[in-house]
Amino acid sequence: MKKIIDFFIISFSFFTVIIKNRRAIMKVLTIYFFLLLTFTCFSQTGWQLIYSFPEDIGAICFIDNNIGFAGSGWNASTKKIMKTTDAGNSWNDLIITNNAITRIYFYNYNLGFAIGENGTFYKTTDSGVNWILIPLGETETFRGIYFYNDQIGWSCLGSDKILRTTDGGNNWDNSFTSGAIANEDIEFINEFTGFTVGVYASMYKSTNGGINWNQVTEPMVASMFDIEFINESTGFVVGGTGIAKTANGGNTWSTVLNSGGSQLNSISTFGNKFAWVVGSDKIYYSSNSGINWMSQNFTPYSYLQQISCVDSVNVWVLGDRKLYKTSSGGVTGVEDQNSKLVEKFSLNQNYPNPFNPVTTVSYQVPEREFVTLKVYDLLGREVATLVNEEKPAGSYEVQFNSHSSEVRNLPASRQGLTSGIYFYQLKVYHTNGGAGDPSAISGQVYSETKKMILLK
């Protein structure tokens, strides 16, 4: 950024020398500072436009920091699969598909699939170097695909049809139906239990490997377009009204984010903590397993279709034939600093220590829980309560004043605490989703005690 600013300053100085007319100088000044402001604002979003495709793109998928794939969309005149080896800055054509690609999915670094309209189904076993067309005899559009291991997988068409493979995708049994009007995506949490989501708020569940399906209570009242689990318990659905989450393997779902009418189209997760959701011109980000979501500042308006991440910081987003990338997880400046790096409970040593009369205590919580932070004397008597409330994930600081009115259990004649050793204790209790409701507090999940010295 400094080099770019220096460039603008030097260039402007050059123009002021050669342009004598005051009005011309003012025009140059206006143009340069407009460009500088535009670049600065866009770069501070954490997302940068790295490539503009010449035609419509329907799907993207990256398998490492450099290698990624893209498939043509419905409106492309020449439909094909493309590959990048430089993180999306340039693309090379691989094969002509003659049909739009709706989703590209890799089970691992080598095994991948590209699916789309008119039953288009391609497979690669060498990281996308070669793609083999699998003739399945389907005429509808494939929408979703998921593999439990390198042999067992499922795919769904944009109707109620479900296909299942047990030989790595070479042969598929297409005799299953979910009952949905139109499937959009499919995912399994183990070899037997899986879900499909689709239009008109439909979700169906199988407990026997995709053979039979039953409708479950809808997580939202609008169409759902993508589903993803980060483990067997925790999963997310995105769609027309926001983000829904389950913490019990899909038995129950609850809305964790209302998108305010913006349609959300795609979710990508890394590990058990990091997740991004895109749709319309929105990007939402969570660094604590979907407990809290932050709307990331995305300056250029674009209808965002799909998202693909390879780790906690390198993420790509596709929208309106444009490819955007972040190398910071989309987080810049002070955005999300309160929760971005918090991965475990911790209580830090107070500072200063010894102190008189004020010291600061800091602590971290990686997820929303009920927190108490109390101070005790050597006899174990509570002398102050610094925190006693539910806290979202984040890093916190609180000051303790030995002369404050919060200090209790003192003799009537004494003002403030005397010099000596005191203890401060952080306790964290799990909450059952009832924010602000004491009855929702259940078992203790963390406790730590540290010593501090008041020296007058």
3-state SS track over the chain: CHHHHHHHHHHHHHHHHHCCCHHHHHHHHHHHHHHHHHHHHHHCCCCEEEEECCCCEEEEEECCCCCEEEEECCCCCCCEEEEECCCCCCCEEEEECCCCEEEEEECCCCCEEEEEHHHCEEEECCCCCCCEECCCCCCCCEEEEEECCCCCEEEEECCCEEEEECCCCCCCEEEEECCCCCEEEEEECCCCCEEEEECCCEEEEECCCCCCCEECCCCCCCCEEEEEECCCCCEEEEECCEEEEECCCCCCCEEEEECCCCCCCEEEEECCCEEEEEECCEEEEECCCCCCCEECCCCCCCCEEEEEECCCCCEEEEECCEEEEECCCCCCCCCCCCCCCCCCCEECCCECCCECCEEEEEEEECCCEEEEEEEECCCCCEEEEEEEEEECCEEEEEEEECCCCCCCCCCCCCCCCCCEEEEEEEEEEEECCCCCCHHHEEEEEEEEEEEEEECC
Average pLDDT, the chain: 84
Q: In this predicted structure, what is the pLDDT of residue 301?
A: 65
Q: Looking at the predicted structure, is the pLDDT value of residue 153 above 80?
A: yes
The whole-model pTM stands at 0.67
Q: Looking at the predicted structure, is the pLDDT value of residue 14 above 70?
A: no
Q: CA-to-CA distance for 106 and 112, rounded, in angstroms? A: 4
Beta-sheet pairing, 322-326 with 92-96: unpaired
**Residue from 393, 358, 386, 392 nearest 372 by CA:** 386
Q: CA-to-CA distance for 110 and 128, rounded, in angstroms? A: 7
Q: In this predicted structure, what is the pLDDT of residue 412?
A: 47
CB atoms within 10 A of CB 19: 14
Contacts 24+ apart (CB under 8 A), 4-12: 4/36, 4/39, 5/36, 8/32, 8/33, 8/35, 8/36
Q: CA-to-CA distance for 450 and 349, rounded, in angstroms? A: 7
- pLDDT band for 192, please (50, 70, 90 cuts): very high
| Segment 300-352, tens digit of pLDDT | 667 899 999 999 899 999 999 999 999 989 876 444 444 445 678 999 999 88
Least confident span in 53-67, 116-130, 309-323, 381-395: 381-395
Q: In this predicted structure, what is the pLDDT of residue 122?
A: 98
46/125: higher pLDDT: 125
- pLDDT band for 406, please (50, 70, 90 cuts): low
- pLDDT band for 48, please (50, 70, 90 cuts): very high
- pLDDT band for 415, please (50, 70, 90 cuts): low
Q: Looking at the predicted structure, is the pLDDT value of residue 42 above 50?
A: no
Q: In this predicted structure, what is the pLDDT of residue 447?
A: 92
Q: In this predicted structure, what is the pLDDT of residue 367?
A: 82
Q: Looking at the predicted structure, is the pLDDT value of residue 252 above 70?
A: yes
Q: In this predicted structure, what is the pLDDT of residue 35?
A: 42
| Segment 89-111, tens digit of pLDDT | 999 999 999 999 999 999 999 99
Q: Looking at the predicted structure, is the pLDDT value of residue 4 above 70?
A: no
Contacts 24+ apart (CB under 8 A), 240-249: 240/264, 243/267, 243/277, 243/284, 243/290, 243/293, 244/219, 244/220, 245/290, 246/219, 249/189, 249/193
Least confident span in 246-255, 330-339, 375-384: 330-339
Structure tokens at 394: 């984040």
Query: For residues 288 and 366, is the Cβ–Cβ distance under 8 A?
Result: yes
| Segment 254-301, tens digit of pLDDT | 888 888 778 999 999 998 889 999 998 889 999 888 888 888 867 666
Amino acid (one-letter) located at 369:
E
Q: Looking at the predicted structure, is the pLDDT value of residue 449 above 70?
A: yes
Rounded mean pLDDT, 385-397: 84
At residue 72's C-alpha, the angle toward residues 66 and 77, to 5°, is 140
- Please list the residues that pair with 137 across neighbouring strands: none
Q: Looking at the predicted structure, is the pLDDT value of residue 171 above 90?
A: yes
Least confident span in 166-175, 205-214, 215-224: 215-224
At residue 66's C-alpha, the angle toward residues 65 and 71, to 5°, is 110
Task: Give the best-scoring range by mean pLDDT among 120-134, 293-307, 357-371, 435-449.
Answer: 120-134
Q: In this predicted structure, what is the pLDDT of residue 45?
A: 54
- pLDDT band for 31, please (50, 70, 90 cuts): very low
Q: Does domain 346-454 have CATH number 1.10.3720.10?
A: no
Least confident span in 78-82, 127-131, 268-272, 410-414: 410-414
Q: In this predicted structure, what is the pLDDT of residue 435?
A: 42
User: 48-326 has which CATH code?
Assistant: 2.130.10.10
Q: In this predicted structure, what is the pLDDT of residue 356?
A: 87
Q: In this predicted structure, what is the pLDDT of residue 293?
A: 87
